[in-house]
Amino acid sequence: EGGGDASASDPCMICLTESSEIEHRGLLDCCGHMYCHSCIVKWAAVTNHCPLCKLSFTSIGKVSMATSQVLETMPVEPKELQVDQAEDDDMIPEGWDQLYCWECGAGDNEDQLLLCDNRPCPAAYHTYCLGLPAVPE
């Protein structure tokens, strides 16, 4: 589970506002994590996954910091983040669109190429050239 170990005394992990300055908290039904109510409502307009544990939430409880009572509960529609392909392509460094395996020299099966994490290292290897059954998670 999400491990709802956050308490009302913790700062908002979205905006980092201290709990003493927060009037209302937003309590997630999936895990018990709490944020500034306004922060998590804005977050929920984009995705319904908890910023900390990534569990899906279906409602946000508005909690009074003065009384610790849930004042209202707001339902949240499921949403999945959409990645803009053009924006994603811009993240590929120049020259990296022509990768090849340093073991076999082939540039095919790009979905099986593992890339070096240290930039600007250009090394790439097919999973099968390294003896791996698939790309690791």
Domain boundaries, the chain: 1-82, 85-126
Please give the pLDDT value at position 95: 52
Is the model's pTM score more than 0.85? no
The answer on pLDDT for 23 being more than 50 is: yes
The answer on pLDDT for 119 being more than 70 is: no
Which of helix, strand or coil describes residue 40? helix
24-53 confidence digits (pLDDT tens): 999 999 999 999 999 999 999 889 999 999
By CB neighbour count within 10 A (0-12 exposed, 13-18 middle, 19+ buried), where does 130 fall?
Answer: exposed
Q: Return d(Cα 23, Cα 79) in angstroms, integer.
A: 27
The answer to whether the beta carbons of residues 44 and 75 sit under 8 Å apart is no
Q: Which of 26-35, 79-88, 123-132 has the lowest mean pLDDT?
A: 79-88
The answer to whether the beta carbons of residues 38 and 27 sit under 8 Å apart is no
Chosen CATH of 1-82 out of 3.40.50.300, 3.30.40.10, 3.40.50.1970, 3.20.20.120: 3.30.40.10
